[in-house]
Structure 1
Amino acid sequence: MIGAWPELRQLKDKDLGLARDRLVEIMAEYQAYTGYKVKVIFDAHMVAGIGKSYHNHRVDVIYTRKNETADERIEKLVHELKRIDTTIHVATSDFTEQSLTFGSGALRKSARELLIETETTEKGIDTEVQKTQKKRNSTKIPLTDEIAEIFEKWRRER
């Protein structure tokens, strides 16, 4: 994703760590909005703490072990997680990896497709935020003191 998404590619040129953090943030929003469980796998080269896993924004972030590629780790995860009641999506633009994971029972998604989905998610989040703000604003009708007294008088007469 980092090499394929324009925003992340620009960040990577400045700081790979920032690009990784931004990807995790984007995927956290995606996970929160869609309800999908998300795992982000990074190749461990250029990273301290090889082979570590942790949660960041409720997203599972996994760094591969020494001499293990992200593709190999993804294949292992697909085999571990695949069950009849589980649908797994693997997002990669690597055609070989798409074929291997598809053959293992996962559905494939290109980096471009995932980018479009995350952009749609961002728009959906923005729409929900705007709706919430409108609801808050519509319940606060500005009244003059005179009108408020009239309403209060009517309320007490009942």
Structure 2
Amino acid sequence: MQHIFLVDGYNVIGAWPELSRLKDYDLEAARNTLIEWMAEYQSYTGYRVVVVFDAQYVRSVQRKMIQHKVEVVYTKEDETADEYIERKAIEWKNAKTQIIVATSDYTEQWAIFGQGALRLSSRELLFELQEMTRSTSRKIQQIQEKMPKSKLNLDSETLKQLEMWRRGQK
């Protein structure tokens, strides 16, 4: 089953303390940081991630781009991220696709529930990312602990061969 994870970009930025502070003086940096974190989330979960930003107050056409393998959408003029997300939840829904929406907008949550999509609040997504980071760090630490210690900068194949010789194996 394919999973598509739609993220209400400004809603999440506003709900996460670190990004909320950052947006107050550098909105672009807050957007880029969110996209980078969603790229990590995508690589961890395997989900297709689409981050949607409102452009309702900006005179422009809809823009789509790929950043760090994450689809980034700026909605067209007079369209909210909620409207875009609802439309895509309907369009992409089928028996082989699970739509998940990250937003803390209560009205949006009910609208996407009606389309058969799952929801994750912005806060729940933050907790998931934090747990993902802790889990990844633990795995890296376990791998590093298993590796032989050496002050020499050797590749893994050379280290493996030296360890075999140390154990008396050929």
Could you say whether these structures have the same fold, taking a TM-score greater than 0.5 normalized by the shorter chain as the test?
yes
Q: Report the structure number with the largest CA radius of gyration.
A: 1
CA distance in 1, matches of 2:59, 2:132: 32
In structure 1, runs of 5+ residues without a counterpart are 143-147
Return the letter of the residue paired with 2:138: T
1:22 aligns with 33
CA distance in 2, matches of 1:122, 1:47: 35
1:91 aligns with 102
CA distance in 1, matches of 2:113, 2:81: 16
1:123 aligns with 134
Deviation at 1:132, TM superposition (A): 2.9
Give the share of equivalent positions with the same residue, in percent: 48
Aligned partner of residue 113 in structure 1, secondary structure: helix
Deviation at 1:134, TM superposition (A): 2.4
Please say if 1:4 is aligned against 2:15. Answer: yes
- Please, what is the CA RMSD of the aligned residues? 2.5
Structure (1 or 2) with the greater strand fraction:
2
Residues 12-65 of structure 1: CA distance to partner in whole angstroms, max 9, x if unpaired?
Answer: 011110000000011111111111111100012577964111111111111100
Tell me: CA distance 1:56–1:48, structure 2 relative to 1, closer, same or farther (3 Å).
farther
Tell me: CA distance 1:43–1:20, structure 2 relative to 1, closer, same or farther (3 Å).
same
Aligned partner of residue 65 in structure 1, secondary structure: coil
**Superposition TM-score, scaled by structure 2 size:** 0.77
CA distance in 1, matches of 2:57, 2:128: 29
Tell me: CA distance 1:47–1:20, structure 2 relative to 1, closer, same or farther (3 Å).
farther
Deviation at 1:122, TM superposition (A): 1.1
- 1:37-116 correspondence runs (5 A): 37-44=48-55, 50-116=61-127
1:145 aligns with none
Aligned partners of 2:60 and 2:76 also within 8 Å: no
Deviation at 1:128, TM superposition (A): 2.4
**Superposition TM-score, scaled by structure 1 size:** 0.83
Residue correspondences, number: 147
> 143, 155, 160: which one pairs with 1:132?
143
1:31 aligns with 42
